[in-house]
Amino acid sequence: MITSNNPAWSKVVTTPATEFPLTPLFVLSGSIPPQLTGTLYRNGPARLERGGQTVGHWFDGDGAILAVHFAKGQATAVYRYVQTEGYQAETAAGRYLYANYGMRAPGGFWNNWLKGTKNSANTSVLSLDDRLLALWEGGKPHALDLHSLETKGIDNLSDTLQASFSAHPKIDPDTGEIYNFGVTLGKQVTLHVYRCHKTGKIIQQNSIKLSGCPLIHDFVLTQKYLVFLISPVRVNVISLLMGTKSVSDATEWQPQLGTQILICDRDTLSVVSRTTTEPWYQWHFTNGYVDQDGEIAIEFIRYADFATNQYFKEVAIGKTETAAQGRLWSMKINPQTGQVTASNPLLDRHCELPVVAPHQVAKPWRYSYFSTHGEGVIPEQELFNAIACFDRHTGNLTLADMGKNIYPSEPIYVSQPDNLERGWLITVVYDGNTHSSEVRIYHSDRLDEKPLCRLALPSTIPPSFHGTWKS
């Protein structure tokens, strides 16, 4: 039950979202840049309750995709749940049937074994020439129609995908090749590393054995290497397989293990080096590249421990109290030895969901964009209410502070057609003061100015995880 003591965002999170068909969007203020042509896609958990039961973790929510199509100064949008097998079965039953990241299946051991884990398809999206993939790191992607978002079914990437396909693929801006990974359980946990053609077809893969059962959410692509930082979180596989605990409840923070640095050759996907350093946890990386000295330079959001998991668990019930603040962090690594040669915080403020301009992936970059808090916000009680641009050359930080009870999603950078270095940031915003959602467009280099355009959405959109832009 939501009470007046809950934050303004709780209503949109705890109430299942409503789909809407392709709808023209009304301009609330400003105007759509006439050069802006393409589609914004966003994915996130949109249903956290069914049959009076709340999911066990924010990550358990059923995925729903928002597509906002821009052309000739106009915009239309459509919002649809991904029609996974689990979503359809639970809709028909009117209750939860499957295990998930923070849930066990009802019925104990046999149901957890026989039904398996539900693919929530709720984390990110990958746009290909002929289809959109809804991604969830515990399983295979679902293919959707790029325009209508009709679900076509599980996509095996030309029948070569044998394991999961994670939610943070990296696209080389010069070749269009896609790099990604997946993790499978067995007698020994295996990390599967993929290189795909721009059509999505897997053209090369390698399998790497891991110790224990870690959580790996993201990785770094550079000109020569793939970098995995494997934090000391381990899943108790016995309790997971026995069905006595969910994945979330079976995770254990084991700082004595340290963080493992695993570096793979980009061309062969083979291991170059593997070593261990001090413990921390990270969900997301901004970017990485090989500098003039041959060292790997990376940027990511670093947490002292795994308390962030508890904070995200609390989001599902509409009220948070766990302090779990991530800091923007830079690091340099010797690729041949895996040794950390430099490690420094960049900002003393909580932030997450970092991105760069797509044409700068795996290359040196100047501007990092991410979500953060504005002034006067207690981080453990609120979702992010600002998006930011950090200038890595000057150290300057520019904020678009949305104000009290207004919550933007991860910012997505869109380059201007005639100049890749100039562009816009697009974010989907929930206004808890009016219980409404909108799309906002900003100049990427002038976030402290009013948005160029605000577009009203037909229904409220819960906070989503990740998105992409398709020109």
Beta-bridge partners for 49: 54
Please give the pLDDT value at position 144. Answer: 98
**Per-residue pLDDT tens digits for 167-226:** 999 999 999 999 999 999 877 899 999 999 999 999 999 999 999 999 999 999 999 999
Rounded to an integer, what distance in angstroms lies between the CA atom of residue 79 and that of residue 83?
12
Rounded to an integer, what distance in angstroms lies between the CA atom of residue 354 and that of residue 390?
10
Residue 241 CB partners (closer than 8 Å, separation 6+): 113, 185
Mean pLDDT of the chain: 95
Q: Tokens 């950090």, residue? A: 390
Q: Which residue ranges make up each domain of the chain?
A: 10-464
Q: Tokens 């990270």, residue? A: 282
**Per-residue pLDDT tens digits for 66-108:** 999 999 999 999 999 999 999 999 999 999 999 999 999 887 6
Q: Is residue 315 pLDDT above 80, yes or no? A: yes
Rounded to an integer, what distance in angstroms lies between the CA atom of residue 273 and that of residue 127?
32
Q: Is residue 1 pLDDT above 50, yes or no? A: no
Of 3 and 355, the one with more pLDDT = 355
Residue 228: both structure tokens together = 């995995």
Task: Report how far apart, in Å, the C-alpha atoms of 464 and of each of 43, 48, 110 are.
Answer: 6, 13, 33
Strands 142-144 and 151-154: antiparallel
Rounded to an integer, what distance in angstroms lies between the CA atom of residue 88 and that of residue 47?
13
The overall pTM is greater than 0.85:
yes
Rounded to an integer, what distance in angstroms lies between the CA atom of residue 87 and that of residue 318?
22
The count of residues in the chain is 471
Please give the pLDDT value at position 160. Answer: 86
Long-range pairs, 270-273, Cβ under 8 A, ≥24: 270/206, 271/208, 272/225, 272/335, 272/336, 273/335, 273/336, 273/337, 273/338
Q: Tokens 């044998």, residue? A: 162
Please give the pLDDT value at position 97. Answer: 93
Rounded to an integer, what distance in angstroms lies between the CA atom of residue 171 and that of residue 252?
32
Please give the pLDDT value at position 241. Answer: 73
Q: Is 5 exposed, middle or buried (0-12, 13-18, 19+ CB in 10 A)?
A: exposed
State the average pLDDT over residues 427-449.
Answer: 97
Residue 203: both structure tokens together = 């053209």
Rounded to an integer, what distance in angstroms lies between the CA atom of residue 326 and that of residue 337?
27
CATH fit for domain 10-464, picks 3.30.920.30, 3.40.50.1480, 2.130.10.10, 3.60.150.10 = 2.130.10.10
DSSP string, 329-374: EEEEE-TTT--EEEEEE--SS-EEEEE--GGGTTS--SEEEEEE--
Q: Is 1 exposed, middle or buried (0-12, 13-18, 19+ CB in 10 A)?
A: exposed
**Per-residue pLDDT tens digits for 109-162:** 666 666 778 999 999 999 999 999 999 999 999 999 999 999 999 999 988 898
